[in-house]
Amino acid sequence: MSDADRLHELLGLPAVDFQRETDGAARPAADAAAWRISVDPYDPDEEDVTWEAKFGAFLDAVDPSGVEALIIGQWGETYEENSSYPLGLVIAAADRLTALKAVFVGDLVGEEAEISWIEQSDVTTLLAAFPGLTHLGVRGGSGLEFPPVRHAALRALTIESGGLPAGALRGVLDSELPALERLDLWLGVSAYGGDVTLPDLAPLLAGTRFPGLRHLGLRNSELQNEIAVAIGAAPVVAQLRTLDLSNGTLGDEGAAALLEGQPLIHLTTLDLHHHFLSAPMERRVAEALEPHGVSVDLSGRCEPWDNRGAEGRYTAVAE
């Protein structure tokens, strides 16, 4: 992932890097930014600065009772120390971060750590500590834990990974999240720990787990065609407004299954970008849905590696 993939906003607020020194420039109000806290252990100016020290400076400089969105960036040697380190510090400050609604854990890009090298942990500790949290995002599947949890306020959950552990998925689907409206899952590839199978998705596709769900993303998967076939008959689709099957290995066979399955014309958006569809299939999809008002993203047509056909297809993000 490149620097362009760094989070630019959260909860509708612009991402702002917290700096201990501002050179006289005024800081935004606490509730006017999504505050990114990160350190660079390879920067000579920051090599001795810990995430704990920088977060402490943040709490002293910005009124923590007004902070609504927090982005956890690089916390040090992220290959060796997992996210329980910054999460523990944020949780310890819960009595000060009384307005916190959104947290993103692991906003790192390639030069800091490849997505599959980010060491995560049990991120549900945040949900236990912040009952008012409405948005939770996570980047990285290595070491990710998501034991079943009940949380009344969470409306949006995103897990970006090069390989999503099946255990973490099962924990999400066994959780009680009555307010959940948006679920984005990057399933990834088996070579980087993505061991989710189609049966693991069955409780989600049945439409019984999250009755308020309106957006579903099952993205970045080497199973994209199999998922498309399942979506064609999945009860959950009827309740959706937006469906995202992008960044994976979707080919003509998967797109045909989408069109031959249940109607999709109630959707406002179908995102298929980064795909392996032929030009005729692209036209077929667009002509079937766009006249009904469905916005279809068919950008980013890819070619298989080494002319290997279906065997040469690849996800957008893996390592």
Residue 137, domain member (yes or no): no
If one compares 277 and 41, the residue with the highest pLDDT of the two is 277
Residue 222, domain member (yes or no): yes
- How sure is the predictor about 288, in pLDDT bands with cuts at 50, 70 and 90? very high
Give me 97's structure tokens.
């971060």
Please indicate, yes or no, whether residues 81 and 187 belong to a single structural domain of this protein. Answer: no
Identify residue 212 by its one-letter amino acid code: G
Which has the minimum average pLDDT: 4-13, 71-80, 148-157, 218-227?
A: 71-80
Q: Which pTM value belongs to this model?
A: 0.95
Which of 20-34, 101-115, 218-232, 297-311 has the highest average model confidence (pLDDT)?
218-232
Question: Does position 89 have pLDDT exceeding 90, yes or no?
Answer: yes
Residue 30, domain member (yes or no): yes
Please indicate, yes or no, whether residues 51 and 93 belong to a single structural domain of this protein. Answer: yes
Residue 272, domain member (yes or no): yes
Residue 230, domain member (yes or no): yes
Please indicate, yes or no, whether residues 72 and 206 belong to a single structural domain of this protein. Answer: no
Question: Does position 217 have pLDDT exceeding 90, yes or no?
Answer: yes
- How sure is the predictor about 60, in pLDDT bands with cuts at 50, 70 and 90? very high
- Number of domains into which the chain is organized: 2
Please indicate, yes or no, whether residues 166 and 273 belong to a single structural domain of this protein. Answer: yes
Burial grade of 153 (CB within 10 A; 0-12, 13-18, 19 or more): middle
Please indicate, yes or no, whether residues 158 and 114 belong to a single structural domain of this protein. Answer: no
Q: Please answer whether residues 145 and 122 qualify as being in contact, where contact means their C-beta atoms are separated by less than 8 angstroms.
A: yes
According to the model, what pLDDT value does residue 73 have? 96
Residue 139, domain member (yes or no): no
Please indicate, yes or no, whether residues 154 and 104 belong to a single structural domain of this protein. Answer: no
Q: How far is CA 153 from the centre of its chain?
A: 18
In the chain, % of residues over pLDDT 70: 97
Residue 140, domain member (yes or no): no
Rg from Cα positions in the chain: 20
Please indicate, yes or no, whether residues 102 and 196 belong to a single structural domain of this protein. Answer: no
Please indicate, yes or no, whether residues 94 and 6 belong to a single structural domain of this protein. Answer: yes
Give me 5's structure tokens.
């993939």
Domain end point (choices 97, 127, 157): 127
Please indicate, yes or no, whether residues 268 and 164 belong to a single structural domain of this protein. Answer: yes
The pLDDT of 298-311, averaged and rounded, is 92
According to the model, what pLDDT value does residue 303 have? 94
- How sure is the predictor about 2, in pLDDT bands with cuts at 50, 70 and 90? low
Range of the domain at 123: 1-127
Question: Does position 41 have pLDDT exceeding 80, yes or no?
Answer: no
Please indicate, yes or no, whether residues 75 and 156 belong to a single structural domain of this protein. Answer: no
Domain end point (choices 127, 162, 188): 127
Please indicate, yes or no, whether residues 162 and 310 belong to a single structural domain of this protein. Answer: yes
Which has the minimum average pLDDT: 69-83, 130-144, 293-307?
A: 69-83
Identify residue 252 by its one-letter amino acid code: D
CATH at 49: 3.80.10.10
Residue 34, domain member (yes or no): yes
Please indicate, yes or no, whether residues 63 and 155 belong to a single structural domain of this protein. Answer: no
Give me 118's structure tokens.
């980010």
